[in-house]
Amino acid sequence: MKAMVLAAGVGSRLRPLTDSKPKALVEIGGVPLLEIVIRRLIRAGVDAVIVNVHHLPDQIEDFLKNRKNFGICIELSREHTLLETGGGLKNAAPFFDDGAPFFLYNADILTDFDLAALYRAHLRQSPLATLAVRRRDTSRYFLFDQDGILRGWESVPEARVEWTANPVPDAERLAFDGVHVMSPKIFPKMTETGTFSLTPVYLRLARQGEIPRAFRTDGSYWQTIGDHQRLEQAQRHVEETGLPL
């Protein structure tokens, strides 16, 4: 089983910490975020990982070498220009050559939901992508119908809703966890090039009849390590409950 960890971000809101180290190597409970993510993926059955890098990439390379790649196959996808989620994934497409579904995991997410259950849910329904989502307040939402099928997207700051077809009056507004399971069949359908996000890709493919689906993670812990306040919140949580390894 394979996975990609998105670790190319600069982490500007975590400066000055990220002036001298990549965001993915910021520590929670004394353990770098990247290590937490990789260990969680290994526990879910992953044995091969590709990590995209951009800001201070040699530090991530040295970190992985010092950890002997955690005993699995780990490759780096170097981005001289930040490619965002969609562009970064497309750039790493040759890694996913076994025809099997794979994880895509943001390195700056601390969560304890069951990754293996997410993978099993994807296998049962075999969509192009299964998105880990939950009810929480955020500025942008995916909109799903009662069957868990993606029907739209909402930007609260812009007061904008984008539907994949006709509006769904009872659509549920769910926040994305930053973790997907995807089929490699998505790659030939990704006609976008250069730097681009996955969100418009999902919306475009949904309009064309593909069915991205929701996997609910309500009740589990989740925190993005996006700024110093959230980092401190995550540190307190780990002090109280331990690391989700």
pLDDT in tens, 121-160: 999 999 999 999 999 999 999 999 999 999 999 999 999 9
**The domain spanning residue 104 has which CATH number?**
3.90.550.10
DSSP per-residue letters across 144-200: E-TTSBEEEEEETTTTEEEESSS--TT-EEEEEEEEEEE-GGGGGG----SS--HHH
**Residue 73 pLDDT > 90:** yes
Residues 6+ apart with CB under 8 A from 240: none
Tell me how far apart the alpha carbons of residues 82 and 141 are, in angstroms, rounded to a whole number: 24
Q: How many CA atoms lie within 13 A of 87 on its CB side?
A: 15
Total domains in the fold of the chain = 1
Residue 87 reports pLDDT greater than 80:
yes
Q: Give tens-digit pLDDT for 170-195.
A: 999 999 999 999 999 999 999 999 99
Type and span of the H or E element at 110? strand 109-111
Q: Which domain holds residue 112?
A: 2-241
Over the chain, what is the mean pLDDT? 95
